[in-house]
Structure 1
Amino acid sequence: MDRYKIALLFFFSSLIFIGCSSTRGLKPGQILYTGADVKINPDSSGRIDDQKSVKSALEERTRPRPNKSILGFKYKLFFYNLAGEPKKNKGIKHWLRTKMGEPPVLLSEVKIKYNNDVLTSYLISQGYLQSVVTGDTLVKGKKGKAIYTAVTGQRYKINSISFPADSGNLANIINQNKEKSLLKVGNYYDLETYKNERIRIDNDLKEKGYFYFSPDYLIVQVDSTIGKHLVDIRMRVKEIAPDAGLKPYTIRNINIFPNYNVRRDSLLKQLKPVEFADFRIYDNRNTFKPWVFNRLVFFQKNELYNRTDHSQSLNRLVNIGTFQGVRADFLPIDSFRNNQLDLNLYLTLMKKNSLTFSVVGTSKSNNFVGSEIRLTQTTRNVFKAAEQLDVSVSGGFETQVSGQSRGLNSYSFTAEGKLTFPRLLIPFFKFSSTNAFVPKTIVSASYQLLSRGSLYNLNSIKGEFGYNFKESKYKEHTFNPISINYVQPSSLNIVKRDSLYQLGLRGVLEKQFIIGSNYNFTYTNQMEDQRRNNLYFNGSVETGGNLVGLVVPKNDQGKKELLNTSLTQFIRLEADIRDYFKLTKGITWANRFNAGYGFAYGNSRALPYVRQFFAGGSNDIRAFRARALGPGTYKLPDTAFADQGGDIKIMLNTELRFKIVSVLHGALFADAGNVWLRREDPPTPATDDAPANPGREGVKFRPGKALSEMAVGTGAGLRIDATIFVIRLDVAFPLRKPYLPPGDRWVIDKIDFGSSSWRKDNLIYNIGIGYPF
């Protein structure tokens, strides 16, 4: 019997074993419940609209749910049976049975009549007003399932819609906005749409002062007796609605307690307030300058209450980062008999000083280390206008092991000070915004030491002045019109200098003065966990030496210098797009596309080293050493120092993430990409200051050949995801090596896990903090 027959025999034997193992723990008379099957109009030749999704929705609503399974294998039930009945409430058997496993779901637990009612109710809510669902069970051996037959009838549509017809102010507001109605003639009857329509009307009334109105005061009357499977819709205000809900309210007094504490409640209310604009501020400690609240509270005296001002005021007070508690009380004057409200804002301060420790993992396309620990001292309300000062120190590391070819360990140390003003400081220009998010002006200064083992150190001093503005909860803009970065190498001797020159890394040795601007735009809906598909986009543009280059004089060699350092001139673009698709509960398919392009001109032949793009590493193309891939088809010697940057980058990542147990997660992934230079890197002769550069072949980006020069790798990983931090271990190996001759670059046929020499040359182990993307 050859090996293929043995494999087939083993496969079918496994299927038989898996099928039997799910029922072997059942007691006599017990039937394993395998799930529900819904048949829609089986005796009719007609199909309903979107029958597949309706069938899926009905099956999802049946209870109980059968045992969890993957490709038909009930893995939790398998572990439950494998453990058996433990003798003690501890030990491996108890853990396996209670944590990894779950008891069998039995057919006797299925309540047919209850499910019939639930499914019928759902169909009626979707417009199938004459639907009937009947259920039964089907048993085969020790397994059984429930079968539900749904006879839907024809789906009803809306024939006409009417709103309150009286001449009152409330009815006028409802009718003025009826063009925005979610109910449309010709649409299907849908109970969820009716609920949302009541909420829409309530929002319209709240904008006009109806503070005590509620969607429950509206009733939707449906007449389905008109024939032809049509319904007439009448929207009415209930007669039992209270008087307070049927009249608009105005704001009388706005009282602000900016340093509120429950223990000081009575004392604070007895204070003489400071009156500023429309506010009465009770703050005997002068915690804030009064004008601050003009930017945070949108209500004005004697105006109608409206929900927009309410929401934006609360959002700004919460998002400013100064208050740990925000409460808004609207109190009616004279017990609802008039139409005025007093607004009391109770604001509880956060601690003025706090110390935080964080563990973060990032995925940057430059040479800086991605994972770090950070200690931050925060001082709030520095100048009594809700400013915030953050002083932090952080240290990062990056390590990668590849058997014979070991990646170089890197570490970084960073000290940073950042002062944030909750407003836009723009000379000669007064800017005001009215959305829920407070615009910010940020001034920062930092020092970073980046060490590449024993080879060299980079010292970076950076200062920025700029603005941060959230357009909405999805969109964020950061613009730094002034960005100054001075980089100087250190710990270099002649031997190290010569080796870097010979590898085309002259840029590492050069002092760099980067004076320019940068803009960053971020879109994300990742905060909406209920979405099945989440997106993230980050786009950035950076310029260096553009305006300054117009006024900086040239030296004797024709180079523009500032403080005896050559001025860099470039434009750098980068885009990072990520998609997170939830296949099922606990299983996510994550994808990323990252592309960057740099254009150097004038003083510069290539992007400055600290702004170049790199490929390979624990957050990048994990089957290759960090920063060792490329440029193009260039092959870096295995024993050489890896820091091969480029002007152009293309990268694609895909990763299937799944929960194994508790905080332990797994991943299967594939990465592809490379970096290139815009120009060739020809040989250069030796000079008095530097050795000869042998040049690098195949480094230039050629659009027609870029796809054939992409590296590809794959692998698997384990992650400990404790929510507050993630520790990651990935193992990867290459599938395609761009530095091999054309036609030999795919190396799938050379994979041999049984060979120690193959493992030593190809397996790459990555250790990181946080997810790679």
Structure 2
Amino acid sequence: MEKSRAIITKVLIFQMLVLLFSGCSLTKGLKDEDMVYMGAKVKVIDKKNAASVQQFYEINDALPNKYTKPGIANINVGLYNLFKETKETGIKHWVKYKLGNKPVVFENQMIGNTKAQLTYYLNGKGFFDHEVACDTSSSGRKINMTCTVELNERYRIDSVIFPVDSTYISLNLDDKLQRAILTEGSYYNRDRLDYERSRLTRLAGDIGYAEFSVDNVFYYVDTAKGNHKADIYLRILPPSSGGNHIRYTLDTIHIFPNYSLIDTFSNPLTEAPISGTIKIFESDHYLNHDLINHVLLENTGSYYNRTNEQKTVNRFQDLGLFRFINVKNLPNPNGGPGHMIQQILLSPEKIQNISAEAELNNRSGNFFGTGASVKYRHKNLFGHAEQFNVSLSGQLETQIGTGLSLVNSSDITGSTEIIFPRLIVPFFKIREGKTYIPKTDIKTNYTYQRRIQYYTLSSLVFKYGFLWRETATKYHELYPLVVNKLGVNDKTEEFQRLLDNDPRLQSSFENTLITGIQYNFTYSDQINLRDRNHFYLKNETETSGNLFNLVLRGDAENPKSIAGINYAQFFKNTVDVRKYIPFQRSDLAMRVLLGTAFSYGNSKELPYIKQYFIGGSNSVRAFRLRGLGPGSYVPEDNQSGGIGNQFVDQTGDLKIEMSAEYRFPIYRFFKGAVFADAGNVWLLRSTDKPEGVFGFSDFYKELGIGAGFGLRLDFNFFLLRLDLATPFRAPMRGSGFQWVIDDINPVDKSWRREYLRYNLGIGYPF
């Protein structure tokens, strides 16, 4: 029976392959005279002349993007040709137009278009005397284009001439500022001219010229004098309506906190003046007027300032209360020319929301877990945009088929948080920045963990700190006061014996008081979610016990305590770096995580919750959670199902983790990924686990490596992820790390049970 099934499966696969590759001809369905265009490449003769251009390889981006992308063995074109005609929806349409690529037929004008785009790029870099020649070559029905480029000498700026007419003079712009970017003797670069156009527009907008735009700035480049030098003439174009540019005074600001295209004109508005020239028009008084006045940076009675307008928008966005913010600048009919009224239209989001989540997870050893959480958020608790968050979550885990307790472990966590949109510092008044609104964060968290065969752990945390955005890309979190009381109780006799035989583990599982400072810095150049090409960096730093130890002078051999509890003293720093690179319909995501932590002074070891671990659905997915390391350490096998087999001390003081994931669409909200992960944790010092100590000379030999593929259901607001992974390089008892690729055997049930990891998660791993 099994043999018959195998034969039928092979026949079906063979038929599918025959059907697929029958359509893989590039010219199927084309006319006899049609040639398939395979793209162009650039050959630069005098590359030395390009040395002055940063990232000159971007010249390839100037090539037209319309060419045939056949894929491996022409499979992309084959999928397109698989069906001759399809409906506008359905699986056939999806295969043909989503997975497949239509072959591009060569046309003669492609040569001229390619030359024109290369010429535009090269002129923009100052190679005005360049020469471009594009030729084609064919092989069968395929045709390729090669463009040979001779750059010749690059032009420099000889002089910059500013206008003396009344239009330019009326802007009151400083020539010195202009020359900061366009300096005589520097290489010509169109990008610098574009930057100057934007900068001039901003400067004009900051001194009252509200209608001034980049289209009003014009540069004329004169290369007639020869000797590879160019003169640049600046011109300020008048308004399209003629005359001079008008400098506006901001007379009045009208704010609409309840703005809606649907309800604005159906609900009566109440006028509430903040001052004589700043008025609020609202249908529902939900936001304190003093807060609105605090957010505003613009001054009525003075010239309009575009930068202050943008900062005001940023500050309103920072409150987290509005879905849309729109600003309209309108002429004041009662003020005459040069006078304006500003309308700030604020479309609010829902002030309160409640959400719930449920999750399932599994890990090796027949562990199965389920969890649920509920969260409540109020974004305007006291009417000053205070954000109040409450959450409660719980998890249960059981080990199937062991004959042990039905519930193996349980976790309950509750937290409360309130964020004030201002700095609250006792006895001090701190001057706030103008671009964004700083916030004060006060939160508490309580966690109860019950490990049936091991212990009960309770953790009570209190944090007080400040959150502020330095720029659109830089974000800071500083908690000068962090208190965390850890209690370890109800240790079983078996677990206590394990602790007695492991001094490091014993020191990690003690009642501990963590008191210190936390600082997090985040950099991300993803300004909005549509920016797929972006860089992310987060650095987390934490210290504990230093202030107490200045007074009490404790050490590891004679630790001091506060209220009968030893205080921990340690330093921990973690750096998480990510890069996201978009392709046409797919993305490449990469991550490197480095972490170091060490105890000193009053502590022998780090508290267990502060140690690093690796593995699981958001880490190296080919290894179970806490299932790798430290170093080449491998725990002893325990076939009896005892505690040593289930509670594994695989944590460390140092962590290296690397991941790369290629994400691609499959069908609508159904997406896929292939990935590779590597990493491990190490100890900085140890007497009982020498194989777990980090060494610069051979740490790279102790990296666990794995790979796999994933399936995702992406509903935009929610993503469910299933990743399957297997180790490629793993530690073996007595022989260190070994390559295990040759052992991969997916049809073997025992191999799947031992090495195939199923990782179920919510959201992307990074």
Query: Matched residues in 1 for 2:345 and 2:221: separation?
Result: 45
The structural deviation recorded for 1:597 is 1.3
1:35 equivalent in structure 2? 38
The separation in 1 between residues aligned to 2:369 and 2:570, in whole angstroms, is 23
- Specify the alignment match of 1:542 in structure 2: 542
Q: CA deviation at 1:144?
A: 2.2
CA distance in 2, matches of 1:292, 1:532: 35
* Cα gap change, 1:370 to 1:416, in 2 (>3 Å): farther
CA distance in 1, matches of 2:360, 2:298: 42
User: What is the CA–CA distance in structure 1 between the aligned matches of 2:385 and 2:474, rounded to whole Å?
Assistant: 23
Matches within 5 A, 1:488-567: 488-489=487-488, 492-499=491-498, 501-502=500-501, 505-506=505-506, 510-527=510-527, 534-548=534-548, 560-564=560-564, 566-567=565-566
In terms of mean alpha carbon deviation, does 613-622 or 255-264 score higher?
255-264
In the alignment, is the contact (CA less than 8 A) between 1:677 and 1:699 conserved in 2? no
* Distance in structure 1 (CA, Å) of the matches to 2:132 and 2:334: 51
Where does residue 10 of structure 1 map in the other structure? none
- SS of the residue corresponding to residue 174 of structure 1 reads coil
| Distance in 2 (alpha carbons) for counterparts of 1:52 and 1:466 | 42
- Give the equivalent residue in structure 1 for 2:610: 611
Give per-residue Cα distances to partners, 1:717-753, cap 9 Å, x unaligned: 2131514314031312152427535xx5334587453
**CA distance change for structure 1 residues 614 and 400 in 2, over 3 Å: closer, same or farther?**
farther
Does structure 1 conserve the Cα–Cα contact (< 8 Å) formed by 2:615 and 2:628?
Answer: yes
TM-score (normalised: structure 1): 0.80
Q: What is the Cα deviation at residue 391 of structure 1?
A: 1.4
Q: Which residue of 1 aligns with 2:75?
A: 75
In the superposition, relative to structure 1, how do residues 113 and 628 fare at CA in structure 2: closer, same or farther (>3 Å)? Answer: closer
Q: CA deviation at 1:316?
A: 0.5
Distance change (3 Å), C-alpha of 1:331 and 1:456: same
| Distance (whole Å) between structure 2 residues aligned to residue 595 and residue 758 of structure 1 | 33
Correspondence for 2:332: 333
Aligned pair in 2 of structure 1 residues 141, 359: CA closer, same or farther (>3 Å)? farther
2:354 aligned counterpart, secondary structure: strand
Change (3 A) 1:697 1:750: farther
C-alpha distance in 2 between matches for 1:399 and 1:613:
24
Match of 2:722 in 1: 728
| Residues 395 and 76 of structure 1: CA distance in aligned 2, closer, same or farther (over 3 Å) | farther
The CA deviation at 1:563 is: 4.9
Counterpart contact for 1:34–1:67, Cα < 8 Å: no
Match of 1:740 in 2: 734
Code of the residue aligned with 1:650 in structure 2: it is K
Conserved? CA contact 2:178–2:196, under 8 Å: no
Distance in 2, matches of 1:93 and 1:128, equals: 49
Q: Distance in 2 between matches of 1:669 and 1:225?
A: 57
- Counterparts of 1:650-669 in structure 2, within 5 Å, are 650-659=655-664, 661-662=666-667, 663-669=670-676
Structure 2 counterpart of 1:301, one-letter code: T
Q: Deviations over 1:82-106 (max 9, x none)?
A: x344788887655433432233222
Secondary structure in structure 2 of the residue aligned to 1:312: helix
Q: CA deviation at 1:635?
A: 2.8
Pairwise CA distance, 1:429: 1.3
CA contact (8 A) 1:244 1:336 kept: no
Hey, what's the Cα distance between the residues in 2 that align with 1:449 and 1:249? 62
Letter in 1 for 2:76: K
| 1:244-283 matched pairs, under 5 angstroms | 246-260=245-259, 263=263, 271=271, 273-275=273-275, 279-282=278-281
The 10-residue stretch of structure 1 (755-764 or 338-347) with the greater mean CA deviation from structure 2: 755-764
Q: Which residue of 2 aligns with 1:766?
A: 759
Name the count of aligned residue pairs.
719
Query: In the alignment, does 2:203 pair up with 1:209?
Result: no
TM-score (norm 2): 0.81
Two-structure CA RMSD over aligned residues (Å): 4.2
The 1:667–1:256 alpha-carbon spacing in structure 2 relative to 1, beyond 3 Å, is same
Change (3 A) 1:62 1:178: same
Partner of 1:351: 350
Determine the C-alpha separation between the residues in 2 that align with 1:79 and 1:211.
54
| Cα distance per residue 1:512-549 (max 9 Å; x no partner) | 33233322222222447788864332222223333346
Q: Which amino acid aligns with 2:629?
A: G
Tell me what 2:588 maps to: 588
- Equivalent pair of 2:272/2:279 in contact (CA under 8 Å): no
Structure 1 residues 25 and 175: alpha-carbon distance in aligned structure 2, compared to 1, 3 A threshold: same
Deviations 1:282-333 (Å, cap 9, x if unpaired)? Answer: 4586534333134311112322221221111011111211233333333323
Q: Residue in 1 aligned with 2:26?
A: 23
Task: Evaluate the alpha carbon distance shift between residue 77 and residue 279 of structure 1 in structure 2; reply closer, same or farther with a 3 A threshold.
Answer: same
Q: How high is the sequence identity, in percent, across the aligned residues? A: 24
Partner of 1:676: 683
Equivalent residues of 2:353, 2:376 under 8 A apart: yes
Q: Which amino acid aligns with 2:519?
A: Y
Within 1, Cα distance between the matches of 2:61 and 2:294?
Answer: 51
Q: 1:660, 1:488 → 2: CA distance? A: 47
CA distance in 1, matches of 2:92, 2:260: 52
**Which of 1 and 2 has higher RCO (CA within 8 Å, sep 6+)?**
1
- Once residues 411 and 185 of structure 1 are traced to their aligned partners in structure 2, the CA distance between those partners, rounded to angstroms, is 71
User: Greater shift after overlay, 512-521 or 123-132?
Assistant: 123-132
The unaligned stretches of length 5 or more in structure 2 are 1-16, 362-367, 401-406, 639-644
Shift of 1:674: 1.9
* SS of residue in 2 equivalent to 1:275: coil
Between the aligned partners of 2:244 and 2:370, the Cα distance in structure 1 is 55
Q: Per-residue deviation at 1:213?
A: 1.5
Match of 1:693 in 2: none
Stretch moving more, 617-626 or 606-615: 617-626
Counting only pairs closer than 5 Å after superposition, residues 25-174 of structure 1 correspond to structure 2 as 25-38=28-41, 49=50, 57=59, 60-62=62-64, 64-69=66-71, 73-81=73-81, 83-85=82-84, 95-108=94-107, 111-129=110-128, 137-148=136-147, 155-166=154-165, 170=169, 173-174=172-173
SS at match of 1:719: strand
Aligned pair in 2 of structure 1 residues 232, 391: CA closer, same or farther (>3 Å)?
Answer: same
Residues 628 and 642 in structure 1, CA contact (< 8 A), matched pair in contact too: no
1:537–1:575 Cα contact (<8 Å) kept: no
Partner of 2:215: helix, strand, or coil? helix
Pairwise CA distance, 1:654: 3.2
- In structure 2, the residue matched to 1:648 is 653
Counterpart-to-counterpart distance in 2, 1:189 and 1:666: 44
Distance 1:170 1:266, change over 3 A: farther
1:54 Cα deviation (Å)?
A: 6.4
Go from structure 1 to structure 2 and tell me whether the alpha carbon gap of 1:275 and 1:547 turns closer, same or farther (over 3 Å shift): same
Any unmatched runs of 5+ in structure 1?
A: 1-13, 363-368, 402-407, 681-695
Question: 2:722 is aligned with what amino acid?
Answer: R
- Conserved 8 A contact 2:67-2:103: no
